[in-house]
Amino acid sequence: MMTAKDIMHPNDLKTIQVLQKIPCIDSVCRKIMEYGYERIFRGENLGTMVKASERCLPRVYTLMKRTANRIGIGVPDVYVYNDPVMNAFTYGETNPFVCISSSCVEKLTDDELVCLMAHECGHILCKHTLYNSVVNLVQMFGERMGIITRSMSKPICLALQFWSRQSEYSADRCAAAVSGERVFQQMTMKLASGLVDVQGDPYQLVHQAQEYNDFENQSLWNKIQQNCRMAFYSHPQMVNRAKEIDRWKNSFAYKKQRLAININ
Ligand SMILES: [Zn+2]
Taking a C-beta distance cutoff of 8 angstroms, is the pair 126, 4 a contact?
A: yes
CA 236 – ligand 1 centroid, Å: 10
Cα 106 to chain center, whole Å?
20
Question: What are the angstrom distances between the C-alpha of 223 and each of 207, 226, 229, 231?
Answer: 19, 5, 10, 12
Q: Is the dihedral of CA 190, 240, 182, 124 positive or negative?
A: negative
Long-range contacts of 202-210 (CB under 8 A, 24+ apart): 203/242, 203/246, 205/238, 205/239, 205/241, 205/242, 205/243, 206/239, 206/242, 206/243, 206/246, 208/239, 208/242, 209/239, 209/240, 209/242, 209/243, 209/246, 210/243
CA 122 – ligand 1 centroid, Å: 8
CA 120 – ligand 1 centroid, Å: 6
CA 137 – ligand 1 centroid, Å: 21
Question: Which amino acid makes up residue 127?
Answer: K
Strands, E assignment, the chain: 50-51, 77-81, 88-91, 97-101
Cα 240 to chain center, whole Å?
14
Taking a C-beta distance cutoff of 8 angstroms, is the pair 189, 198 a contact?
A: yes
pLDDT at 234: 65
Provide the residue ranges of all domains of the chain, joining segments of one domain with +: 4-263
CA 163 – ligand 1 centroid, Å: 12
Given the DSSP bridges, would you call strands 97-101 and 77-81 parallel, antiparallel or unpaired? parallel
Each residue's pLDDT tens digit in the chain (264 positions)? 899 999 999 988 888 887 777 777 777 777 777 777 788 888 999 999 999 999 999 999 999 999 999 999 999 999 999 999 999 999 888 889 999 999 999 999 999 999 999 999 999 999 988 877 766 666 666 666 666 566 665 666 666 777 778 899 999 999 999 999 999 999 999 999 999 999 899 999 999 999 988 877 777 777 677 776 666 666 788 999 999 999 999 999 999 999 998 876
Nearest alpha-carbon partner for 70 in 119, 131, 9: 119
CA 118 – ligand 1 centroid, Å: 10
- Rounded CA gap, 134 and 105, in Å? 32
CA-based end-to-end distance of the chain: 9
Q: Which residues surround ligand 1, an ion (CB under 5 A)?
A: 168, 171
CA 129 – ligand 1 centroid, Å: 10
For residue 52, which phi and psi values (nearest 5 degrees)? -80, 140
pLDDT at 118: 98
CA atoms within 13 A on the CB side of 194: 5
pLDDT at 155: 64
CA 119 – ligand 1 centroid, Å: 6
Q: What one-character DSSP code corresponds to residue 200?
A: S
